[in-house]
Structure 1
Amino acid sequence: MKKRLLGAILSTLLTVTMATPAFAEITWTAEKLPAGYTTNEWENKNFFLNAGTAIKKDTYTYYIKDLHGNIMKNAAFAGGMTTNADGVVILGNGHVASYGTQQGQLEYANTLTYEPLSWHQDATKSTNEKGVSNLWYGRSDGCYPISKWQWLMVSPDGKKDGLKYAYCFNEYGYLYTNTITPDGYMVNELGQLIIDGKVKTIDPKTNPGNKWYGYADFPIGALGYDYDSCGRAAQLWGTPNPFF
């Protein structure tokens, strides 16, 4: 019975993959490459995630990878977060994000005062420069989504209507607005995903998404916005991004 169920799941996922249309081709130019762009110095297998905030498992140290999987060194991110010459993340409060073990991270987290995630605006940046805004999402010690699509129930203008909207954040944690994202999707002036000319929304009460994965938050290049694409996104989770 278990083998039959596994075979059915694999068959469904394979069908989803074959039916998924190709992404738009992306041409990377010098001005789009992130600061500290280097060749990838460590194998992906040592890390969890190929883009955005990544954990090196043997030391439980946090790094940030660009969309090509390269460690971003000496870089500055939204919310005051930075990386040092080795690429290790330093939070906006000055804390070096290297914990030794997962338990070490949990012990550090228990010393913090709870602060909910929320929208912020960086007054030192333009409201929109080449499709990247000065909006970011996170806490006072730094941004949360980096090189990532995030489904959120509150928009940058504070609107809450009980629906989820998809937002895309660049490799520095800033929101894409009124542009085409690196993986070929259109977003409006609020950074909300547009599919077939309409803002894509999810009602979590009536539409939980793919029965295995729901509507998950995945790195750029692995957006799940309907039943089929959620299954495909799950296949790409934690694997080298095939589009960059």
Structure 2
Amino acid sequence: MKKRLLGAILSAALSITMAMPAFAEIIWTPDKLPAGYTTNEWENKDFSFYSGTAIKKDTYIYYVKDLHGNFMKNAILAGGSKTDENGVLIHANGHVCSYGSEMGLTEYANTQSYIPDVWHQDKSKILNDHGISNYWYGTDKYGSSTTSRWLWLMQAPDGTEDGLKYAYCFNEYGYLYTNTITPDGYMVNEFGQLIIDGKVMTRKPNDITTWHGFVNFAIGYLVYDVETSEQHKYDTPNPFF
């Protein structure tokens, strides 16, 4: 339960038919972030917790990045979370994501009750604004937990389920892409579900790749079958960050 809760808090603190999309060659270097911040090493290995975030090592403060690695300052995110003038993440309940150390984060997590992520709809926004919907995924307490990444989920935004998983993509503000092409070149339908070769991709709940379950992946690093998982090894830099 503690691991699950810690994951939830970290997550919160943090086609046109084609086989695999082509990326411009981007070579990541340790100076991608300012001195004193974490590098992208973990972001390239654990997309569940670190997509779109950076951590200042001496204070363990969480910052939010856009798809190009820039800090998002004074940004309003889905569900009421936001960033301050420096890009520091603030949860929807006002909690500033500054923990002093990794141990401090763990101690904070242990004081919180677990709240599962669910679909929400922001009625203040239109249903589809140039491919960005008003749906987001997370909790009222923390806000969106799914910025700049793909999630394989059992439930559709309208609450329907058929026993299969579908892949959904969320932008850097936490809103679902629908009826559009995602930044990494995939088509999604009106429900935000991944389409490959004209077919909506589905997975059984227990389907896994050779190295990772079908759960969540950073934009630019989607795994949708065993073949693509072989192209996405842990030691391969994420081309978008």
User: TM-score scaled by structure 2?
Assistant: 0.78
Taking only the aligned residue pairs, the percentage that are identical comes to 57
The 5 Å alignment of 1:224-239 reads 224-235=223-234, 239=237
Q: Secondary structure at the match of 1:163?
A: strand
The 5 Å alignment of 1:88-127 reads 88-127=88-127
Aligned length: 207
* Counterpart amino acid of residue 92 in structure 1: A
Instruction: List per-residue Cα deviations over 1:38-73 (Å, max 9, x = no partner).
Output: xx6526753542752333344322111111111111
- Give the unaligned 5+ runs of structure 2: 1-18, 25-31, 45-50
The 5 Å alignment of 1:39-188 reads 42=34, 45-47=38-40, 48-49=42-43, 51-140=51-140, 141-188=142-189
| d(CA) in 1 for partners of 2:235, 2:126 | 33
Q: Secondary structure at the match of 1:105?
A: helix
Q: Is the 8 Å Cα contact of residues 74 and 82 (structure 1) preserved in structure 2? A: yes
| d(CA) in 1 for partners of 2:170, 2:75 | 16
| d(CA) in 2 for partners of 1:22, 1:198 | 16
Question: C-alpha root-mean-square deviation of aligned residues, in Å?
Answer: 2.2
Instruction: List per-residue Cα deviations over 1:145-200 (Å, max 9, x = no partner).
Output: 10001111111011122211100000100000011101110001110001111110
2:239 corresponds to which residue?
242
Which of 1 and 2 has higher RCO (CA within 8 Å, sep 6+)? 2
Instruction: List per-residue Cα deviations over 1:87-141 (Å, max 9, x = no partner).
Output: 1101111100010122211221222232211000111111100100000000112
Q: Secondary structure at the match of 1:153?
A: strand
Q: Is the 8 Å Cα contact of residues 121 and 136 (structure 1) preserved in structure 2? A: yes
Q: Secondary structure at the match of 2:124?
A: coil
| CA displacement at 1:235 relative to structure 2 | 3.5
User: TM-score scaled by structure 1?
Assistant: 0.77
| d(CA) in 2 for partners of 1:60, 1:96 | 11
Q: Secondary structure at the match of 2:94?
A: coil
Instruction: List per-residue Cα deviations over 1:17-57 (Å, max 9, x = no partner).
Output: xxx744277xxxxxxxxxxxxxx652675354275233334
CA radius of gyration, larger in: 1
Q: Is the 8 Å Cα contact of residues 215 and 230 (structure 1) preserved in structure 2? A: no
* Counterpart amino acid of residue 175 in structure 2: Y
Q: Secondary structure at the match of 2:231?
A: helix
2:14 corresponds to which residue?
none
Q: Is the 8 Å Cα contact of residues 24 and 184 (structure 1) preserved in structure 2? A: no
- Give the unaligned 5+ runs of structure 1: 1-19, 26-39
* Counterpart amino acid of residue 242 in structure 1: P
